[in-house]
Amino acid sequence: MLLVPNGRCVEHKLESLRWYLRQWAHWCRSWRPRGLWYPSAVPYLDEMRPEPSESSESLDGAESWQLHAVEQGVSELPSTLSGAIRAHYLAERALTQTAAAVDQAEKALIPLVERRHLIL
């Protein structure tokens, strides 16, 4: 068991982070544009990142600021690690990611979300 400076083990932090990542993935998938109809066949839509709704009905356990902290942390990761997180949790089209790549990305994400005051 590897302890980090605040006394919590890395495994516990990873477990907490994975819960937030699952909440974030659900939040991203539940995004729907308001008042506009977007056809799914337009190629440039695949490249657009969703801006999830901040309404309380779309949050199933995590608060909006926590999900924004995860989103910003993922966007700050290097593209290979960010791609591993997005491919694993959002099932976006990407190269096949190994479990080791996802694990490395999750560990790199811990300090990024903690800087945004997300307690793991």
Question: For the whole model, what pTM was predicted?
Answer: 0.64
The rounded mean pLDDT for the chain is 75
Q: Which residues, other chains included, contact 88 with Cβ-Cβ below 8 Å and sequence gap of 6+?
A: 97, 102
pLDDT at residue 117 above 50? yes
pLDDT at 92: 62
Each residue's pLDDT tens digit, 6-64: 556 888 899 999 999 999 998 888 765 555 555 545 555 555 555 555 554 444 466 88
**Roughly how many angstroms between the first and final C-alpha of the chain, as a whole number?**
16
Distances (CA, A) of 105 to 35, 55, 60, 70: 36, 29, 24, 12
Contact call for residues 120 and 100 (beta carbons, < 8 A): no
